[in-house]
Chain A
């Protein structure tokens, strides 16, 4: 599906992020987080607009607390951009679309 956002679990994370040919922006979120819900539609827009150059994926920290611990996520939303399977940059806290794009641009 064009620009689809996949949900990563503890078992699928390494395979999906490691094997991706393009950078992967991973959104650590949870159902109970208001600011996470506010940026969800922005991430959907980015996923479809940047299709082919950037993939967007989500990690639900309730379902995958080990992944949150592994990447030292202590605040959500946290976005981590993975390039060649390695964290390239991290954006903590909800931001508007122009600011998100600006912060990502340096790493894409």
Chain B
């Protein structure tokens, strides 16, 4: 068991910015960064599955998402943040010092204890919830366009979703695919204007509006996507060999159920213009508490807020 003044759970832009600030404040933070996975719930967070980031200030030519996260991690390590590759299995925020388990959640002793905890566990991609998903993921069904687009050269594929990430994936996938159909349940997009215009201008991109997915077809690999028009009720099959899911995100807050206040969608509730939670000494930042902006820069900014809030709170206790 090891004790730390500050433990940061999660290592996207929010967690690593909090690590940079608390490390520079001589609080020797421990960052429990998560474990590798092909979903966005992994060290580095959602940016690890992206390509070019064009809107992070300071990079006029853009920067690759994974590179930005590798650089942030190196910056945190440079100031003495202790970063461990592990996943938190249980927390007890009922009394101080807070208790944190890695590995066996039933172990009598926690792995770490902390005076202050910064929660930056982010959000993960939502799946469609179809039985076929378990069978076909990695066999034509994907949540990572940058990982898997390569395997669909000159093939027809579908992207399900209508937000920025769906359009970004669709644009990226046209580098490989002969045609990309964006399947969206509404008749307009949630995505930003610039992303919409790019998609409309791309000759390889088509739209299936007011369309929902009934099933992903194929036994050992994807052979089609069964969809239905919500206005006419007409069902049809898109002859695609690849399906990429980008229908939204869900906050990673299961660990904190019954301990930290959440809204109906499971996002942590923080104080107005602050990173404080309902538990004194526990702070939250990044997408785990933000369903409005969800940008790398807003996550980083809120990580800075959490670090300063934690530092001031620790000082006010006189430690």
Q: Which residue of A lies closest to B51 (CB)?
A: A32
How many A-B Cβ pairs are below 8 Å? 82
Chain B 100-152 interface residues, beta-carbon cutoff 8 Å to A? 103, 137-140, 142, 144, 146-148, 150-151
Chain A residues with CB below 8 A from B86, complex form: 96
Report whether B38 and A35 are in contact in the complex, using a CB–CB cutoff of 8 Å.
Answer: yes
Chain B residues with CB below 8 A from A35, complex form: 36-38, 42, 48-49, 144, 147
Report whether B37 and A78 are in contact in the complex, using a CB–CB cutoff of 8 Å.
Answer: no
Report whether A94 and B36 are in contact in the complex, using a CB–CB cutoff of 8 Å.
Answer: yes
Q: Which residue of B lies closest to A35 (CB)?
A: B38
Chain A residues with CB below 8 A from B242, complex form: 74
Q: Mark B53-95, 1 if CB is under 8 A from A, else 0.
A: 0000000000001100000000000000000011100000000
Report whether B66 and A37 are in contact in the complex, using a CB–CB cutoff of 8 Å.
Answer: yes
Report whether B148 and A75 are in contact in the complex, using a CB–CB cutoff of 8 Å.
Answer: yes
Q: Which residue of A lies closest to B140 (CB)?
A: A74
With beta carbons under 8 angstroms apart, the residue of B48, B65, B139 that contacts A38 is: B48
Chain A residues with CB below 8 A from B137, complex form: 75, 92-93
Chain B residues with CB below 8 A from A42, complex form: 36
Q: At the interface, yes or no: A72 with Cβ under 8 Å from chain B?
A: yes
The SS class assigned to the B binding surface is loop
What CA separation (Å) do A76 and B43 show in the bound complex? 17
Please give the distance in Å from B132's CB to the nearest CB on chain A: 15
Report whether A95 and B148 are in contact in the complex, using a CB–CB cutoff of 8 Å.
Answer: no
Q: Which residue of B lies closest to A78 (CB)?
A: B138
What CA separation (Å) do A78 and B65 show in the bound complex? 22
Q: Which residue of B lies closest to A36 (CB)?
A: B147
Q: At the interface, yes or no: B44 with Cβ under 8 Å from chain A?
A: yes
What CA separation (Å) do A62 and B149 show in the bound complex? 12
Q: At the interface, yes or no: A68 with Cβ under 8 Å from chain B?
A: yes
Chain B residues with CB below 8 A from A98, complex form: 103
Report whether A34 and B138 are in contact in the complex, using a CB–CB cutoff of 8 Å.
Answer: no
With beta carbons under 8 angstroms apart, the residue of A38, A72, A97 that contacts B43 is: A38
Chain B 141-191 interface residues, beta-carbon cutoff 8 Å to A? 142, 144, 146-148, 150-151
What CA separation (Å) do A36 and B144 show in the bound complex? 12
With beta carbons under 8 angstroms apart, the residue of A30, A68, A75, A94 that contacts B42 is: A94
Sampled A-B contacts (9; CB under 8 Å): A34-B146, A35-B42, A37-B66, A75-B142, A75-B148, A76-B147, A76-B150, A77-B38, A94-B38
- Given known contacts A34-B146, A38-B36, A94-B37, what 8 new A-B pairs fall within 8 Å (CB)? A34-B49, A38-B42, A75-B138, A75-B147, A78-B138, A92-B139, A95-B36, A95-B37
